[in-house]
Amino acid sequence: MSAGRYLRGFGLRSEYDVIVAGGGVAGLSAAIFLGRAGVSAAVFDRAESSLRRVSRVNNYPGYPDGVGGSALLDLCLQHARRFGARIIDERIQEVCLSPPGFTVRAGADEAWCRFFLLASNKRTDLAQSLGLALVGFGAKFVGVDERGETVVPACYAAGRITGLPSQAVVSAGSGARVAIAIIERMRGAYYVDHDV
Ligand SMILES: Cc1cc2nc3c(=O)[nH]c(=O)nc-3n(C[C@H](O)[C@H](O)[C@H](O)COP(=O)(O)OP(=O)(O)OC[C@H]3O[C@@H](n4cnc5c(N)ncnc54)[C@H](O)[C@@H]3O)c2cc1C
């Protein structure tokens, strides 16, 4: 991992509208949509997505000749940064309810967010620490409603962690869907992100 792609330490700002646990395609897609809507978002990630080990992804729309998994994620990182997302090279070690939001701890630092988004795929420790029961095939997934919210109010989940098919484009769509649900909740109005 090149140090230039990530920022170490996050003491400069400690409050975000949304904190995302996981910078795979689900978390980064969510960050792009949140950023474009002017919602402050921080994505915590340690670059452990399985996609980073895939030499050629041949089924992601827009890449007829395929794209390296790591290259695809780097483009998503670049895209999320372009719209203001803070990408933080730390694992979230702890999350706890801190009404009306959540406090997360990563390394020596803490940050607060109004909405917490789980996009951490196989890592369900944070979900379980919030009291979320694991559901679905093999009891490995986090249950969500049609807008991506878990039974813990203001805690959302997106991507493979919700039991969706293990395909990158599905996780990317899920991240976008959940971001729009959060944006609509913050604004209290229907939202689309359409360029003209
Ligand atoms: C061998 C293999 C090959 C594959 N090939 C393809 C393919 O060709 N095409 C395709 O469409 N799909 C493929 N997939 C599936 C694809 O990798 C997944 O569907 C996709 O990566 C899921 O995206 P996600 O964002 O939900 O989770 P992930 O991409 O897994 O991202 C989750 C991220 O969360 C981070 N994280 C976890 N816990 C924390 C925490 N506490 N704090 C901070 N960060 C955390 C992890 O480090 C990771 O980077 C393949 C999977 C495997 C295993």
Domain segments of the chain as ranges: 3-187
DSSP E strand boundaries for the chain: 15-21, 41-44, 86-88, 94-98, 101-106, 109-118, 134-135, 141-142, 155-157
Is 163 touching ligand 1 by the criterion CB < 6 Å? no
Is 29 touching ligand 1 by the criterion CB < 6 Å? no
Reduced to 3 states (helix: H, G, I; strand: E, B; else coil), residue 115 is strand
pLDDT bracket for residue 11 (50, 70, 90): low
C-alpha to C-alpha distance for 80 and 76, rounded to whole angstroms = 6
Q: Does domain 3-187 have CATH number 3.50.50.60?
A: yes
C-alpha to C-alpha distance for 166 and 43, rounded to whole angstroms = 21
Of 103-112, 119-128, 171-180, the poorest mean pLDDT is in: 103-112
The contacts of residue 185 (CB under 8 Å, 6+ apart) are 115
- Record the tokens describing residue 97, joined without a space: 């309810």
pLDDT bracket for residue 3 (50, 70, 90): very low
Of 166, 169, 174, 177, the residue with max ligand 1 atoms within 8 A of its CB, to mutate for a pocket test, comes to: 166
Please determine, for residue 8, whether its predicted confidence score (pLDDT) is greater than 70.
no
Is 141 touching ligand 1 by the criterion CB < 6 Å? no
pLDDT bracket for residue 5 (50, 70, 90): very low
- In the prediction, which pLDDT does 2 show? 35
Question: What are 27-61's pLDDT values in tens digits?
Answer: 999 999 999 999 999 999 999 999 999 999 999 99
Please determine, for residue 186, whether its predicted confidence score (pLDDT) is greater than 70.
yes
Element (H, E) at 164: none
Average pLDDT, the chain: 93
The contacts of residue 20 (CB under 8 Å, 6+ apart) are 27, 30, 31, 41, 42, 43, 44, 117, 119
Is 67 touching ligand 1 by the criterion CB < 6 Å? no
Is 168 touching ligand 1 by the criterion CB < 6 Å? yes
Of 5, 29, 51, 109, the residue with max ligand 1 atoms within 8 A of its CB, to mutate for a pocket test, comes to: 51
> pTM for the complete prediction?
0.95
Is 184 touching ligand 1 by the criterion CB < 6 Å? no
